[in-house]
Chain A
């Protein structure tokens, strides 16, 4: 639910209210008023034309940590 897709910021407009974002070769102007401190190269979640939150880089899914926990406890 609440379709949201992680897109990359490739350009920020002069008025700093919008950014051009790219996702798999698709581009759109996105409203960034809710994530005003984004920089080029950052990823944001795109929902209906707006960036609703920044995507933090997380190198691994937690599942690997969880699986390691299980292994260690056995």
Chain B
């Protein structure tokens, strides 16, 4: 999104094409997850969520349209602890959506819930892992890319070894990038240099934050609380070991264990091409619904709702 907010496509040469991959946890959250959250609302739960999820459409409506006063937007999961303690009469679910950057935060919150003996706060978990998704894209052979701008804050947590392995295996270079406009431009420049010298490896542009080993404390926190599981990626399908689920020791706070709900979900519009946009196969403008049936006001899929979504970015910032 920073790429479009800073107007970067207008600053680079026309023969460099920037494609959005599955870099947005909201984009790739399944309709089923939103439908489940809404079902819990109807069962009397209150929901706490990051703002990103508020307008994401499920099969029938979003948290915004179905919430009616029972959905509260938070900036940090730490607000959930206080909210739960101040509202003992309420049953509260915290939506745990994000990638490896945000996973340690939710791990820490689960530990705090246990330490503080909070009994009215649960998590609905849909945390996902990036490297399996990148590997899936490359192994499917559908994507034609020359290089990756790799996520700087995910790498701050997990380090660079997993990305290095993928880059070497598929012989596609990657640069771990920061988010300021100068970081992004510098990273593109570094990628071009790697391609010109025909080196196939990974470089870190965001060296002021990213270390090869990542953040071991954060990684341990994730390991203490979560374990890998298969996960559903909207537009892609189920990927093996690409998500996180709450370990047995913390299952008292996993709402899917404490109060399981089965929800059958309809995909929003069969013509929605979010999946192919996420894979970088087509650009948003190639989708038949883009700008016509699908806009930020009437999103057909999450790529248009999410502020980070490829379609929303082009619609808002790049549409001519």
Which residues of A are interface residues toward B (Cβ below 8 A)?
1-2, 4, 31, 33-36, 45, 47-50, 52-58, 61-63, 66
Distance between Cα atoms of A35 and B108 in the complex (Å): 13
Distance between Cα atoms of A66 and B182 in the complex (Å): 14
Distance between Cα atoms of A63 and B51 in the complex (Å): 35
Evaluate contact between A49 and B75: CB separation under 8 angstroms: yes
Distance between Cα atoms of A33 and B50 in the complex (Å): 21
A1: B residues at CB distance < 8 A:
1, 23-24, 151, 153, 179, 308
Which residues of B are interface residues toward A (Cβ below 8 A)?
1, 23-24, 50, 75-79, 98-99, 101-102, 104-105, 108, 151-154, 156-157, 179, 182, 185-186, 189-190, 193, 205, 207-211, 215, 217-218, 221, 308
Closest to A69 in B: B193
Q: Smallest distance from the beta carbon of A53 to chain B beta carbons, Å?
A: 4
B210: A residues at CB distance < 8 A:
53
Q: Smallest distance from the beta carbon of A30 to chain B beta carbons, Å?
A: 9
Distance between Cα atoms of A19 and B179 in the complex (Å): 24
Closest to A18 in B: B78
**Which label, helix, strand, loop or mixed, suits the secondary structure of the A interface?**
loop
Q: Smallest distance from the beta carbon of B8 to chain A beta carbons, Å?
A: 14
Evaluate contact between B207 and A62: CB separation under 8 angstroms: yes
Evaluate contact between B218 and A58: CB separation under 8 angstroms: no
- Which residue from A2, A36, A55 sits with its C-beta under 8 Å from B102? A2
Evaluate contact between B193 and A55: CB separation under 8 angstroms: no
Distance between Cα atoms of A47 and B152 in the complex (Å): 12
CB<8 Å pairs between A and B, sample of 18: A1-B308, A2-B98, A2-B152, A4-B156, A33-B217, A48-B50, A48-B77, A52-B153, A52-B218, A53-B156, A53-B157, A54-B209, A56-B207, A58-B207, A61-B186, A62-B205, A66-B186, A66-B190
A55: B residues at CB distance < 8 A:
208-209
Evaluate contact between A53 and B105: CB separation under 8 angstroms: no
B23: A residues at CB distance < 8 A:
1
Q: Smallest distance from the beta carbon of B95 to chain A beta carbons, Å?
A: 13
Evaluate contact between A52 and B75: CB separation under 8 angstroms: no
Distance between Cα atoms of A49 and B182 in the complex (Å): 25
Evaluate contact between A47 and B215: CB separation under 8 angstroms: no
Distance between Cα atoms of A31 and B1 in the complex (Å): 26
Evaluate contact between A34 and B221: CB separation under 8 angstroms: yes
A1-B1, A1-B24, A62-B207 given as contacts; is B156 within 8 A of A52 (CB)? yes
Evaluate contact between B77 and A49: CB separation under 8 angstroms: yes
B151: A residues at CB distance < 8 A:
1-2
A33: B residues at CB distance < 8 A:
108, 217, 221
A56: B residues at CB distance < 8 A:
207-209
Q: Smallest distance from the beta carbon of B202 to chain A beta carbons, Å?
A: 14
Distance between Cα atoms of A57 and B207 in the complex (Å): 10
Evaluate contact between A48 and B189: CB separation under 8 angstroms: no
